[in-house]
Structure 1
Amino acid sequence: MLRAAGFEDSPALTVQSTDGEIPQGRELSFAWLSGTVMTGLTSVLLMGAALYVSFQGQDTFSTAYAALQLAAPRIEQPTATDIMAKSSRLRPIAATRSDLEIIEAAIRQNVDGREIIRNQPFTRIRATLATTATSLSADAPAYDPVAILNKTQPLKVASLDIATDVYGTDVDGEVAVRQAAMPANFVPTRSISDQSAAEFVRGVAEATFFTDGPPQALAYASFGLSNNSPTPGVADNLLTGIAENVTVMPKSTLGADKGQGRTERFLTVREVGPLADTLVRNGFTSAQVVMVENTLANLIPAGGLPAGIRLRILYGPLTSDPNSLVPYRMSIYRPDGTQGDRHIATVALSDTGQYVVGLQPDWVEFPEEDVEQINVGNLPTVYRSIWETGRKHDLDNDTIERIIGMFAYDVDMTKRITAGDTIEILETAATPDAEPELLYVGLNLGGTKRQLYRFTTPDGTVDFFDPDGETGKRFLNRRPLEGGGTLRSRFGYRIHPIFKTRRLHTGVDLAAPTGTPIYAAGDGVITYYKWQSGYGNKVEIQHVNGYETAYGHMSRYADGLGVGSKVRQGQVIGYVGSTGQSTGPHLHFEVLINGNLVDPLSVKLPKDNVLAQQYRGEFEQTMAQINDLMARDPAPVSVAQAN
């Protein structure tokens, strides 16, 4: 039956292909078999590697093919309004302002007993706080509230005799003014004659007694009074003031919990300058600048980018530095030309970390103003944003730290900024003999503007005061531990993490690694220094004017302290731990006013220093002069750094 089906008896297969007696086709070749197996394995490995790279999320904005093309083909696409491709919803866009201007004013200054009037330049900065943290501020020091204390101390001796006494008229060169006593025989000319004065009095009297209507006379009208008030002389609405302790939050913060994403920036080069200056101010490192310049060596003029050139920079995160964004791609466009013809060149970051020439990205209509895409996940903290903005405008580190210290007691520096927050700075211009000196800082966060003016008292002490004559420094620190900690639980009712019942949380929990130093929030005397149930190792400090602070869950106390010890603000009193009823290492911090518990992060705290009343008149004059400088038009020689 097998033979009938086509089967037959045949010799067995063999690898002895040299056997001539074996019929052809019965030999096995090890070379053929191994080649077939190796081909299959190689194919599997190559396909697996390709799939692995694809699913790792690596972005390639340039290829070897793109590197061969210096000019991108024209892209025929409809005008897009969304600068992020493949998005299901429009991304919010914020106009950015970044102006550095030189203003000049005639300043009156006393030099060696002589009054000199001369023109003096000032540097004025008006900028939107950076909404993207780049490598420009990557090396900024970690936020440490106690270290900021040293930056808020008043200067005992003025490092420079800064004159802000603005003279009413501009002068050419320098004018020396000498004051002398009026001669005894000098009689000033009359402004009006006796006859004109008599006619004025007679006219007022006739208008008063010989008219049918009510007399016409000058009178004072208070802004608070209203004709609709039911009671004469009583205002119908006198409740005015400034909102205190208001926190402005975005309408939606869903993106804040996600990782950093891509964002895009559109800007205009305002004046001719080296390409490197523009790149550095926009987050390129020195090594990246060299790569970009080498890549675009044949496309960029030797003198730098001409004024009016438009730049489009795409930023994205790196795995090695999740807190900073790096430039993924930069495109350069001409200010005129038709769609597609304006593109000059594009450089993009490859997977190997090199910037190479890339294809033109999808066309979008350029906005008139400089704008940047808002990504909630990318918004930096106030602390990081001030560093980023200061570095962008070439402020030195000491000045940036001074600015942060001036507002650190009123502003939670660990909170994220709101898109559109701004900062204003006024400095003296740098000279060969002196460094710039800070005169004024205005910080606008969430619609609330805070202003601090430099003022020098007759004894030579220099400090910054708000319009009410108070410094930004509070007598209590709201986050009294190294680095400020991470806010884990706020003041108020909550579900207790251990007992699972709804209880009042009497303070705030600031998480930090075990052993992190804890500081005294202000000057005072220790009244409690031992274990307390629930709090573990606890310290209580009595301050002036009925203020008390408490510190719980310490791992250990600082040596040499006890009940009755006097401590100063910023002095180490213990170290972070997890003693008592705690689920992890953190500081439980409480503030009491006259025995009543309050929210340490929002309660209004008294200022540490207030300007003496005898200096108020001179201080108000200084404020008016600085405000005049902030309102002046820039000098003909100005630097508007939108880049």
Structure 2
Amino acid sequence: MNATQRRRHVALLHSTGFEDSPALTVQSTDGEIPQGRELSFAWLSGTVMTGLTSVLLMGAALYVSFQGQDTFSTAYAALNLAAPKVNQQMATDLTSKTSRLRPVAATRSDKEIIEASTRQTVDGREIIRNQPFVRIRATLATTGTSLSADVPAYDPVAILNKTQPITSAALDIATDVYGTDVDGEVAVSQSGMPANFVPTRAVTDQSAAEFVRTMAIADVSVDGGIPALAYASLAPSVQDLSASASAVSGVAENVTVVPKSTQASGEGMGRTERFLTVREEGPLRDSLLRNGFTAAQVGMVENTLANLIPAGGLPTGLRLRILYGPLSQSGDSLVPYRMSIYRPDGAPGERHIATVALSDNGQYVVGLQPDWVEFPTEDVEQINVGNLPTVYRSIWETGRKHDLSDETIERIIGMFAYDIDMTKRITAGDTIEILEAGETGTGGEDELLYVSLNLSGSKRELYRFSTDDGTVDFYDPDGETGKRFLNRRPLEGGGTLRSRFGYRIHPIFKTRKLHTGVDLAARTGTPIYAAGDGVISYYKWQSGYGNKIEIQHVNGYETAYGHLSRFVDGLGAGSRVRQGQVIGYVGSTGQSTGPHLHFEILINGNLVDPLSVKLPKDNVLAAQYRDEFDQTIAQINDLMAREPAPVTVAQAQ
């Protein structure tokens, strides 16, 4: 570039505002105008820190949003104690933005003590004493909480050990209800009269006949009521006690119950809210433990509300409002997000006593009172279809809520597991009723006497009965046990139902074909059990089925097991097996798209649906016990219909 061009270039730069000045410096004293070229580390650091803070805040917000978590807690100093806005309708679905009302189901959870005089023979003497009985009437739990978070996985074969008859000679529970109440204990001994004893004549035959004739035609008025015959009434007879049980009832068989709508069933776990009434004065701990709070959570709540709750506990009539939600997206249990306590009466803005809420760090702190909703008269729970537990989980949750022992809960499940698919979800409103013989002061635990399970309008009842040999078992009103001679899901854990019996599009050939059994998915190597006692008739490979086993049972019944990964050593065609014995392991041999058990049941050579076919009972009460069993049914039904004792010692709410 020559001098003329250089001067022209400099002139253009000056015309555009360019200034030829020294470079930037960190020394503020350099140059004629130091502030014009000073580099500020403070300004640079502030700019960088602002950017980093913005990134962290946006990242935290996105993380919380993707996790589906939020908080209902707030610092006490920031509480706004003004009356909340009043919403006369129940809260809507909290899992999504919608105006669709969530279904609400009334719940019942009564644990009562009833008393009756029972008659029992001890050492040849007839003992009549007052016996307490524990009666439970409850709606099956519609949410799974920490109460049942640690229950064992459902294993349909393990229940065989839980349903064996009780043969302990020491187990002697009096269930013979005496017709009249007694004070204390009365011992009655009987002995034969001497052969030469002749009672003295009190009245003549003529006098007795005249007395009967006079009383038969006489009108006797009681307190101005209608004429009535005067006579001495005996104690209620068995026929009197069973009069109320004469209504026609039945159980729907071979019927599949399908809900009208399953729109929300695939949404996963969501929030649900429970409204309770304190039925009996007692510690806050008791109410919290029965409603899904762990012992550690109860401790945090008690510490938080130490200055707000009386030392004696919650008085009767207070209302509790508990909001539940999932702890994580993959969990199957709900945890209490928020618990509020309200007075039973007063203006909406004055009823609130306190609220505790779960904070982000897992602590329960004082929280804002939720928006007001009108409390229902009865205890209710908002139902989220995605939260409905299986029958198995719900029975565990309900049993522990009412302080039943794990052994008793396992026996109840085992008694119904042959008739009911325990892996199905319950329906809102399903109920359970239980009767136990309470403690009499001589030690020992409550003994189960009666269980009734009502699922989707179908009621099943089982009564405890002891035969002359001391064997105790449970029978339905027809004298049959709940146990079947075939198991419907014969593999460890029961498997996951992937395909039902009936016509379907074949997953490999893509043609419409009859699926001759049910597919129960499980991991490769899961043990497969014999569904019932029988003899193996086929024990090798078969095209399509892969490794296959067929077992012949009595009365024309046959079961088949396909796609096994391997057989059990020592077995083969002709081997005799018992119910629950391992015969093979789950695999994916033959025409299969994944590891599962293909299970079939045939009756006289005809294929049937293993999950719905009516199977014969394993044991039937002998005819010689029928009259005595009918008397037991009548007396237990009478106990279930009686009013509770004046003081109820326990309330599940």
| TM-score normalised per structure 1 | 0.89
Aligned residues of 2:74 and 2:368 also touching (Cα < 8 A): no
Q: For 2:600 and 2:513, how far apart are their aligned partners in 1?
A: 15
3-state SS of the aligned residue for 1:150? helix
Q: For 2:212 and 2:120, how far apart are their aligned partners in 1?
A: 41
Number of the residue aligned with 1:288: 297
Q: Does 1:449 align with 2:459?
A: yes
**How far is 1:62 from its partner?**
1.1
1:501 is aligned with what amino acid?
T
Q: For 2:13 and 2:590, how far apart are their aligned partners in 1?
A: 91
Gaps of 5+ in 2: 1-10, 218-247
Q: For 2:276 and 2:404, how far apart are their aligned partners in 1?
A: 21
Number of the residue aligned with 1:214: none
Distance 1:420 1:240, change over 3 A: closer
Q: Does 1:350 align with 2:350?
A: no
Match of 1:485 among 495, 507, 517: 495
3-state SS of the aligned residue for 1:340? coil
Q: For residues 510-538 of structure 1, give each alpha carbon's deviation from its aligned partner in whole angstroms, at most 9, with x where no partner exists.
A: 00000000000000000000000000000
Distance 1:411 1:484, change over 3 A: same
Number of the residue aligned with 1:437: 447
1:592-603 equivalence runs, <5 A: 592-603=602-613
Q: For residues 154-199 of structure 1, give each alpha carbon's deviation from its aligned partner in whole angstroms, at most 9, with x where no partner exists.
A: 1123442111111111111112223344653366877973798799
Number of the residue aligned with 1:193: 209
Q: Does 1:335 align with 2:344?
A: yes
Number of the residue aligned with 1:206: none
Q: For 2:24 and 2:56, how far apart are their aligned partners in 1?
A: 34
Q: Does 1:362 align with 2:376?
A: no
Match of 1:419 among 412, 415, 428: 428
Match of 1:546 among 541, 556, 559: 556
Q: For 2:211 and 2:581, how far apart are their aligned partners in 1?
A: 76
Q: For residues 86-141 of structure 1, give each alpha carbon's deviation from its aligned partner in whole angstroms, at most 9, with x where no partner exists.
A: 64111111110010010000111111111111111010101100001100011111
**How far is 1:493 from its partner?**
0.4
2:445 is aligned with what amino acid?
E
Q: Does 1:608 align with 2:622?
A: no
Q: For 1:557 and 1:257, how far apart are their aligned partners in 2?
A: 37
1:478 is aligned with what amino acid?
R
Match of 1:45 among 46, 49, 55: 55
Match of 1:146 among 144, 157, 177: 157
Q: For 1:8 and 1:116, how far apart are their aligned partners in 2?
A: 117
**How far is 1:615 from its partner?**
0.7
Aligned residues of 2:92 and 2:98 also touching (Cα < 8 A): no
Q: For 2:580 and 2:13, how far apart are their aligned partners in 1?
A: 103
**How far is 1:319 from its partner?**
1.3
1:150-169 equivalence runs, <5 A: 150-169=161-180
Q: For 1:581 and 1:605, how far apart are their aligned partners in 2?
A: 29
**How far is 1:25 from its partner?**
5.0
1:103 is aligned with what amino acid?
I
**How far is 1:320 from its partner?**
7.4
Q: For 1:265 and 1:138, how far apart are their aligned partners in 2?
A: 19
**How far is 1:2 from its partner?**
3.7
Q: For 1:405 and 1:256, how far apart are their aligned partners in 2?
A: 27
Q: For residues 561-614 of structure 1, give each alpha carbon's deviation from its aligned partner in whole angstroms, at most 9, with x where no partner exists.
A: 011100000000000000000000000000000000000000000000000011
1:197-216 equivalence runs, <5 A: none
Aligned residues of 2:92 and 2:99 also touching (Cα < 8 A): no
Distance 1:351 1:200, change over 3 A: closer
**How far is 1:638 from its partner?**
1.1
Aligned residues of 2:87 and 2:371 also touching (Cα < 8 A): no
Aligned residues of 1:13 and 1:26 also touching (Cα < 8 A): no
Number of the residue aligned with 2:234: none
Q: For 1:240 and 1:277, how far apart are their aligned partners in 2?
A: 38
1:238-387 equivalence runs, <5 A: 242-319=251-328, 322-387=331-396
Q: Does 1:532 align with 2:546?
A: no
Q: For 2:213 and 2:140, how far apart are their aligned partners in 1?
A: 59
Q: For 1:378 and 1:177, how far apart are their aligned partners in 2?
A: 56
Q: For 2:181 and 2:70, how far apart are their aligned partners in 1?
A: 58
1:636 is aligned with what amino acid?
P
2:140 is aligned with what amino acid?
L
Distance 1:45 1:622, change over 3 A: same
Match of 1:79 among 73, 79, 88: 88
Aligned residues of 1:270 and 1:640 also touching (Cα < 8 A): no
3-state SS of the aligned residue for 1:618? helix
Distance 1:15 1:616, change over 3 A: same
Q: For residues 315-348 of structure 1, give each alpha carbon's deviation from its aligned partner in whole angstroms, at most 9, with x where no partner exists.
A: 0001176110000000001112111101000000
Q: For 1:348 and 1:129, how far apart are their aligned partners in 2?
A: 26
Aligned residues of 1:143 and 1:383 also touching (Cα < 8 A): yes
Number of the residue aligned with 2:102: 91
Q: Does 1:130 align with 2:141?
A: yes
Distance 1:112 1:323, change over 3 A: same
Q: For 1:21 and 1:178, how far apart are their aligned partners in 2?
A: 125
Q: Does 1:10 align with 2:20?
A: yes
3-state SS of the aligned residue for 2:450? strand
Aligned residues of 1:12 and 1:26 also touching (Cα < 8 A): no
**How far is 1:46 from its partner?**
4.0
**How far is 1:73 from its partner?**
1.7
Q: For 2:621 and 2:533, how far apart are their aligned partners in 1?
A: 20
Aligned residues of 1:334 and 1:344 also touching (Cα < 8 A): yes
Aligned residues of 2:269 and 2:329 also touching (Cα < 8 A): no
Aligned residues of 2:501 and 2:518 also touching (Cα < 8 A): yes
Q: For 2:14 and 2:629, how far apart are their aligned partners in 1?
A: 120
RMSD of the alignment, in Å? Answer: 2.4
Number of the residue aligned with 2:527: 517
Match of 1:458 among 468, 490, 513: 468
Number of the residue aligned with 1:641: 651
3-state SS of the aligned residue for 2:551? strand
2:209 is aligned with what amino acid?
S
Q: For residues 342-371 of structure 1, give each alpha carbon's deviation from its aligned partner in whole angstroms, at most 9, with x where no partner exists.
A: 100000001110000001000000011100
Aligned residues of 1:83 and 1:364 also touching (Cα < 8 A): no
Q: For 2:419 and 2:55, how far apart are their aligned partners in 1?
A: 60
Q: For 2:143 and 2:53, how far apart are their aligned partners in 1?
A: 44
Match of 1:562 among 572, 588, 598: 572
**How far is 1:80 from its partner?**
2.6
Distance 1:69 1:295, change over 3 A: farther
3-state SS of the aligned residue for 1:58? coil
1:454 is aligned with what amino acid?
R
Distance 1:37 1:124, change over 3 A: same
Aligned residues of 1:423 and 1:441 also touching (Cα < 8 A): yes
Q: For 1:7 and 1:135, how far apart are their aligned partners in 2?
A: 74
Q: For 2:250 and 2:313, how far apart are their aligned partners in 1?
A: 51
Aligned residues of 1:99 and 1:639 also touching (Cα < 8 A): no
Distance 1:458 1:71, change over 3 A: farther
Match of 1:171 among 179, 182, 199: 182
Aligned residues of 2:135 and 2:640 also touching (Cα < 8 A): yes
Q: For 2:215 and 2:476, how far apart are their aligned partners in 1?
A: 49
Q: For 2:403 and 2:251, how far apart are their aligned partners in 1?
A: 34
Distance 1:14 1:576, change over 3 A: same
Number of the residue aligned with 1:209: none
Q: For 2:524 and 2:314, how far apart are their aligned partners in 1?
A: 52
Distance 1:242 1:148, change over 3 A: closer
Distance 1:639 1:253, change over 3 A: farther
Q: For 1:550 and 1:581, how far apart are their aligned partners in 2?
A: 16
Q: For 2:476 and 2:54, how far apart are their aligned partners in 1?
A: 70
